[in-house]
Chain A
C-alpha cells in the first residue's frame, strides 16, 4: 500500500507536467520568462561535437589493512570521449564512452547514451541510458575535471550503493517562478536488481544496477546489457529549488522505488549430501526504496577574496527483509541468514577558490575539504562502516585543466591513508 502511494506521488506530478507541456498554449498557465525570447531561426542540422574529459593520477596508499599483499601504489588513467549531436532544434543525442584503469583494473564501457526531445520550453523528454537523476553528483559533478577531489565520495562510484545511470525514459525541465527557479525530473526505468550472489559473489542483499559480470571487470566491460529481472519498472524523480534569484543555492529531494527481487526463484543451489535441506528463498516481493537530498551553495566572499563552494548529498537505501543463503562455507554446508538492507552514505564538501587575489599563482589555487560516510547493513557479507576525510589543493592551469594534490584518511572497517596526485582535463 505504501509503495502504491509512493509511486502515485511520483507519477502524478510526472503526468501533470507531461500534459501541461503538450497542451499548454504559449503565454498562458505559468509565468515563464522564456516567453519574451524571440524565436530562433530553426536549423535542420548541426554537426556532431566531440567533447569529453581525461585524467591521469598517481595513488599511494599507506597502512592499508585490506591491501597488505598488493602493490599500494598505482598509476591510473581515464578517458571519456562524449559525442553531442544537436540533430535539430528539438532533437539532441548524447553518448559517452568510458575507458579507465583504476588500481590495476581496466574497463571500457558505455557511460551513457540517450536521445532527447525538447517538447516545450520547460519540458524535455529523454530516453535511453541516462545519468541517474538521483541527486546531483552523477549528473553534474562526476567528471574528474569538475570533481574537486581526485576520488569520488564513498558510495558514488561504479558498482556502488547508488546507480550511476538509469535505462528507461525521463521527463525533465526547469522554469522560473517569480524570482526563484524550480527544476524537476521524473523517470521510469528498469531499476535495480536484488543480488542473490549469483552475479557477484558475496553481495547477497545488495542492489546491483547493470548486471555486470565480474569476470569481465578485469579486461573489457561493455555493460553486457541491462537485463531486468522482473516486469516491474522502477519509478523515481527529483525536484530541485533555487530560491535565490542569483541561483547561488540549490536544494533537491529525490527518490526511487522498485520491486527488486527476481520474478522467479533465484538460481537453484545443490545441497551436499547429508546436509539439512533449506528452502530456496523467494525474492519476488522484495521491494526497495532509494531516497535522499542534495544541496549546493556557491558564494563570493569578499573578505576572503574568493569563492566558497559547498556541496553535499545524502543517500539512503531501504530494501525489504529477506533470507539469503551462504554458500561460501569451505565445508560445503549451506546456511541461511536474513537481514533488511538499510544503507546510508553521504558527503559534504567545502571548496575555497582564491579567485580574487592579484597574485597569478594564488588566484589559480583552490583548497577543498570533504567528509564522506558509508554504512552498509549489519549481518550482510558486505557489512562496513567507514568515515573518510579528504583534504586537497588544486592548481588550475586554465579553466578546464587542473592539477590536484590530496590526502585521504579512512577510519572504520576499512582503514588507510592515501596520497593522490591527479591531472584532470575537460575538452
Chain B
C-alpha cells in the first residue's frame, strides 16, 4: 500500500511542480544578478554568510567547493563570487 502511495505521489508531485513552473513568469537564470543568486542558493542548505566573512581568495575556493558539492551551475558560481568580491571591497 505504502509503495503504491509513493509510486503515485512522486510522479504527481513532479508533474505538479513542472506545471506550476510553466505558469511562472520569473527570470531566467542568465538574467539574474549575483546578489540574487547568492540569496537563493546558499540558503537552500545553510545560513547565508555576509560577503565580509571571508577574503576574496577564500571566496574563490569556497565558490568552487560549493559548485561541486551543491551542483551549482558555472554561471551561478561565477556571478555569486563576483558579487561577494565586489561587496567585500565596499
Known: A84-B61, A116-B68, A400-B47. A176 touches B21 (CB 8 A): no
**Distance between A98 CB and nearest chain B CB, rounded to angstroms:** 16
Contacts of A298 in B (CB 8 A): 43-44
Q: How far, in whole Å, are A40 and B26 apart by their CA atoms in the complex?
A: 28
Within 8 A of B (CB), among A241-263: 241, 243-251, 253
Q: How far, in whole Å, are A33 and B33 apart by their CA atoms in the complex?
A: 13
Q: Which of A33, A47, A51, A251 contacts B17 (CB 8 A)?
A: A251
Could you jot down 27 A-B contacts, CB within 8 Å? A32-B73, A34-B78, A84-B61, A92-B64, A92-B68, A94-B68, A139-B69, A139-B70, A174-B72, A176-B30, A176-B75, A180-B21, A183-B71, A241-B14, A243-B17, A244-B24, A244-B26, A245-B24, A246-B26, A246-B40, A248-B44, A251-B13, A251-B14, A293-B10, A295-B13, A399-B48, A400-B49
Binding site for B on A (CB under 8 A): 32-34, 36-37, 40, 46-47, 49, 51, 84-86, 92, 94, 116, 118, 121-122, 124, 126, 131, 139-141, 145-146, 172-176, 178-181, 183-185, 240-241, 243-251, 253, 293, 295-296, 298, 307, 314, 396, 399-400, 426
**Distance between B6 CB and nearest chain A CB, rounded to angstroms:** 7
Q: How far, in whole Å, are A295 and B44 apart by their CA atoms in the complex?
A: 11
Binding site for A on B (CB under 8 A): 6, 10, 13-14, 17-18, 20-21, 24, 26-30, 40-41, 43-50, 53, 57-58, 60-62, 64-65, 67-76, 78-79
Interface contact A121-B74, CB-CB below 8 Å: yes
Interface contact A247-B75, CB-CB below 8 Å: no
Contacts of B27 in A (CB 8 A): 179, 245
Interface residue SS majority, chain A: strand
Interface residue SS majority, chain B: helix
Interface contact A243-B79, CB-CB below 8 Å: no
Q: How far, in whole Å, are A236 and B18 apart by their CA atoms in the complex?
A: 25
Q: How far, in whole Å, are A112 and B40 apart by their CA atoms in the complex?
A: 27
Q: Which of B14, B61, B78 contacts A46 (CB 8 A)?
A: B61
- Kindly count the residue-residue contacts between A and B in the assembled complex, taking CB atoms under 8 Å apart: 135
Interface contact A243-B18, CB-CB below 8 Å: yes
Contacts of A314 in B (CB 8 A): 6
Contacts of B79 in A (CB 8 A): 37
Q: Which of A32, A92, A176, A426 contacts B65 (CB 8 A)?
A: A92
Nearest neighbor of A253 in chain B, beta-carbon distance: B10
Nearest neighbor of B41 in chain A, beta-carbon distance: A247
Nearest neighbor of A177 in chain B, beta-carbon distance: B29
Q: How far, in whole Å, are A244 and B24 apart by their CA atoms in the complex?
A: 8
Known: A146-B45, A399-B48. A244 touches B17 (CB 8 A): yes
Interface contact B26-A179, CB-CB below 8 Å: yes
Interface contact B46-A179, CB-CB below 8 Å: no
Interface contact A245-B61, CB-CB below 8 Å: no
Contacts of A400 in B (CB 8 A): 47, 49, 53
**Distance between B8 CB and nearest chain A CB, rounded to angstroms:** 13
Q: Which of B10, B65, B76 contacts A84 (CB 8 A)?
A: B65
Interface contact A179-B28, CB-CB below 8 Å: yes
Interface contact B45-A141, CB-CB below 8 Å: yes
Known: A179-B26, A243-B20, A244-B26. A307 touches B61 (CB 8 A): no
Known: A34-B73, A184-B71. A140 touches B45 (CB 8 A): yes
